[in-house]
Structure formats: C-alpha cells, structure tokens
Amino acid sequence: MRRSYQRLRLKSVVPALAAIVGALALGGGAAHAAANAPFMAHQAVYDLSLLKTRGGASIDNARGRIVYDFSGSACEGYNSEFRQVSELDNGEGKKTISDLSSTSWESADGKTYRFKIDTRMNDNDSTNVDGVAERSGDHITVKLKQPVTKTFTLDGNTVFPTEQIRRIIAAARDGKSLLELTVYDGSDTGEKLYSTLTVIGKPIAGDQATNPDPTTKNDKMKTLTRWPVTVSYYDRDAKTNSGEQTPVYAMSFELYENGVSRKLVLDYNDFVIAGAVDKFEPKDSKPCK
C-alpha cells in the first residue's frame, strides 16, 4: 500500500499532467499547428474519484480535486499553475492526504522551462523541487536549486511538457495513431526522464458528447474537434529482464484541438482515478504585439 501512496504523491504532480489538463502549446511551430483553434487561456477544475483497483490494492475510496490555471501567449511564453489534493481511504480508518502543487513557465520557442513543485503527505514536511532547463544546440542543461543543487545535461531530442502536448495535437491532426517522445518535466527529484508512448483515437466532432460537462456545454468549445488520447510514461532508467516494461503510470483523456482536456483517467497500475470537469472558465489572452 505504501507503494501506491508514494506513486500518487510523486506522479500526480507531474507537470505533464498540468500541461495535459490545461494543455498549452509553443509559439512559432504551434502557431501553424493551432491555426484553426488558438490555444485557450482558462481555468479548469476536476473532481477526482476512485474508478477501480487492481491486484488486491487495499483502497476503499478515493476523492480529490485538481485546479488548473493556464495563461500566456506565443510572445511571452506560457504559465501554468496546478494543484491536486487527494484523499485515499484504506477502509480501516486510515486516510492518506496528498497535497501537490506546481508552477511552471515554458518559453514560446521551447528552449526554456522553469518549474517549482511542492509535495506534502498528511502532516509531514513538504518536499520541493525547483529548477530550470535550457536548450542549447544538441543538448539541454538542467540546473536544480532543490532538493539539491545540481547541474546535468539531457539529450537535445528531449521535449518539455508543453511541446509534448503540441506534438500530440499535431500528430492527431495528421491522422497519426502513435507518437513516441522522451519527456522531461522536473518531477520526482528533478532528475527523472520518461519515455512516453501516446495512442491517439479517431477524432470526435464537437457536437458529439457522452457524459456532457462544462466544456461540451461552452459556446466556445461546441464546434471544436477532440481526440481520445492515452499517454503511458516509462522510466528511462528502469531495467527489465523480460524485454517488456510496465508504465510507471498512464493518463487517458479527450483532448480538444485548442488544448483543453476532459474525461481524465489517471492510471497508477494498482488503482485508477477518474477526473470529471466540474468547472471550466475561458479567460482572455493578451494578444501579441
């Protein structure tokens, strides 16, 4: 059970999730990819509930909330603020509460990514990750301030979370069903690198909606196409003897062409959390000069 709680603590706060629930995009290359529907500044609130358990996981109930704010532009870069509070109940009177928050900024050209992540379990002291990643030539240099001061490099083919979302939408528009990317998002201790596999389903027209929510009812969203998407995250450093690797976690959702997401499913292997949109508020974006 400790393993499940630890996975929720570390993986739910992954900035990739923040990018997906609000989905950003980069300027420049994104301007062409998002020509039909510019990416939307907004706030989205998701109610979390236990969908199912596997392997005898001793979780009787789960609930929580995600609040996500996204703002910015292709000129000034993109800001995201993300908070997830979750409560897991083992059915024997023991509850574990995790409070996860992150803020990030990604430059419109995808060269700079700044991030701060705060994680707290129950009444324990919070753990923090604070750093910046800079792309230069064929590599990326990451400088961490917390949890320890450290500098290291990543391969230049690695993408940051907003670039990951931009590429998913571009692949969906091109009719592709699979996309493989290496992603750095600053999660865990700030040194984790993920191999990701994205599976993209057939497009869903804006007037088609099962389980309507505030996104499907919004006038600005009704005409937009969306795609069912599942992204599986694999630990790049993990070794396997069988040749097959189990994802650390996976996220499924319906992704609109303007970046907004609905019908979240967060799969932590031994338990699965559903996230339904409770509130959705589009915001005005400051236009580029």
Q: Which pLDDT does position 251 carry in this prediction?
A: 93
Count Cβ atoms below 10 Å from residue 289 Cβ, excluding itself: 6
pTM of the model: 0.85
Average pLDDT score, the chain? 83
User: Is pLDDT above 50 for 23?
Assistant: no
Using the predicted structure, report yes or no on whether residue 39 has a pLDDT greater than 90: no
Mean pLDDT, to the nearest integer, of 8-32?
43
- Segments making up each domain of the chain, as ranges: 2-282
Residues across the chain: 289
**What is residue 59's predicted lDDT score, i.e. its pLDDT?**
81
Rg of the chain over Cα atoms, rounded to whole angstroms, equals 18
> pLDDT of 195-234, one tens digit each?
999 999 999 988 787 788 999 999 988 889 999 999 999 9
Instruction: Measure the CA dihedral 171/81/142/140, to 10°.
Output: 20
pLDDT: which is higher, 170 or 26:
170
Give the CA distances from residue 257 to residues 38, 40, 86, 220, 228, in Å, rounded to whole numbers and listed in that order: 8, 10, 29, 12, 11
> Tens of pLDDT along 234-253?
988 876 555 678 898 999 99
- What's the pLDDT tens digit per position in 62-80? 899 999 998 877 778 888 8
Please say if the pLDDT value at position 5 is more than 80: no
- The model's pLDDT over 107-153, given as tens digits with 9 standing for 90+, comes to 888 899 999 999 888 888 888 999 999 999 899 999 999 999 999 99
Count the helix, strand and coil residues of the chain and give each as a percent rounded to the nearest 5: 15, 45, 40
Average pLDDT over residues 90-97: 81
pLDDT 10s digits, 151-190: 999 999 999 988 888 899 999 999 999 999 999 999 888 9
CA separation, residue 33 to residues 113, 169, 188 (Å): 21, 8, 31
